[in-house]
């Protein structure tokens, strides 16, 4: 696992966008898994800015949605699909047909999850999974305790995760307490994992991930036992000297 500490949120976002743009230039047909949340907003904006300056081919990308609320349709303004379309697909001119959805409104959500894993298999796996770090160490909606071999599936969200996501839904809204999530197996099997972590509110969980033991109670710690992982944090999330410990190579940007 490589920990890179950028001086601030903008530097983190820029660096992430440069890494992904480089990968897409080298492999225009890449399969990329994309997150929602507060953290990646700057990354998507920077990626769109790079694409405007120096158009690279995104027509062959395969975009895999990381997670979605159960019972929330594609057209719902609160769906993650709407979010991804607005933040990523539309600004880069990526056709909606390139998105492999996790359909929150599927009649048979379990079958839809199996179909998603099948699409991932036929894509030859994921080239890069861009991830946020949840307040409790979740990746996607893989809440603790998580099985590293878990498939894409329907999960129950913890009360804290529901509350934390409430900020996107507005006062009084009923936030779903179930979701579809890409499983840990496909996340960990991605050829690159890029985890974006920003802000003081992620400090303690990031410290637990970097310095703590690998544990199902903190799903992101499985990344430490996996290859090709870059944790890209800003200095608010990692204000300490970068540790010299095994497998954590440090860099400052």
Residues annotated catalytic, as ranges: 67, 136, 138, 143
Determine whether 246 is exposed, middle or buried from the number of CB atoms within 10 Å of its CB (0-12, 13-18, 19+). Answer: exposed
Distance in Å, CB of 189 to ligand PGA, minimum: 19
Q: What whole-number distance in Å separates Cα of residue 197 and Cα of residue 4?
A: 10
Determine contact, residues 184/218, Cβ cutoff 8 Å: no
Q: What whole-number distance in Å separates Cα of residue 107 and Cα of residue 226?
A: 35
Phi first, then psi: give them for residue 135, nearest 5 degrees. Answer: -55, -30
Distance in Å, CB of 29 to ligand PGA, minimum: 27
Pairing mode, strands 153-156 and 31-34: unpaired
Question: Closer to ligand PGA at the Cβ: 38 or 227?
Answer: 38
Is residue 132 close enough to count as binding ligand PGA by CB under 6 A? yes
Distance in Å, CB of 31 to ligand PGA, minimum: 20
- Please give the C-alpha separations between residue 25 and each of 20, 31, 55, 225, in angstroms, as whole numbers: 9, 13, 10, 28
Phi first, then psi: give them for residue 222, nearest 5 degrees. Answer: -60, -25
Question: Closer to ligand PGA at the Cβ: 114 or 207?
Answer: 207
Distance in Å, CB of 221 to ligand PGA, minimum: 15
Question: Closer to ligand PGA at the Cβ: 85 or 115?
Answer: 85
Question: Closer to ligand PGA at the Cβ: 114 or 200?
Answer: 200
Is residue 134 close enough to count as binding ligand PGA by CB under 6 A? yes
Find the binding residues for ligand PGA in span 30-89 (CB under 6 A): 37-39
Tell me which residue of 94, 92, 102 sits closest to 35, measured CA to CA. 102
Q: Interface with ligand PGA by CB under 6 A: which range of 109-117, 132-140, 142-150, 185-193?
A: 132-140
Residues that bind ligand PGA (CB under 6 A): 37-39, 132, 134, 138
């Amino acid at each position: 696992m490589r920990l890179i500490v950028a001086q601030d949120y903008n530097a983190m976002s820029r660096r992430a966008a440069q890494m992904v743009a480089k990968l897409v230039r080298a492999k225009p047909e890449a399969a990329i898994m994309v997150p929602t949340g507060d953290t990646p907003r700057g990354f998507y904006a920077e990626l769109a800015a790079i694409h405007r300056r120096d158009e690279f081919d995104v027509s062959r990308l395969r975009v895999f949605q990381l997670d979605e609320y159960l019972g929330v349709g594609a057209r719902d303004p609160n769906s993650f699909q709407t979010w991804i379309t607005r933040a990523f697909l539309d600004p880069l001119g990526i056709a909606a047909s390139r998105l492999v959805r996790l359909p929150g409104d599927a009649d048979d959500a379990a079958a839809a999850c199996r179909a998603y894993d099948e699409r991932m298999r036929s894509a030859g796996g994921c080239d890069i999974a861009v991830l946020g770090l949840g307040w409790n160490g979740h990746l996607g909606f893989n809440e603790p305790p998580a099985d590293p071999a878990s498939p894409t599936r329907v999960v129950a969200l913890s009360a804290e995760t529901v509350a934390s996501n409430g900020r996107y839904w507005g006062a009084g809204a009923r936030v779903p307490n179930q979701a579809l999530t890409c499983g840990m197996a496909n996340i960990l099997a991605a050829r690159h994992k890029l985890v974006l972590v920003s802000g003081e509110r992620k400090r303690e969980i990031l410290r637990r991930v970097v310095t703590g033991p690998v544990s199902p109670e903190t799903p992101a710690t499985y990344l430490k036992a996996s290859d090709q992982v870059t944790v890209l944090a800003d200095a608010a999330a990692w204000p300490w000297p970068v540790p010299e410990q095994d497998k954590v190579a440090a860099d400052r940007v």
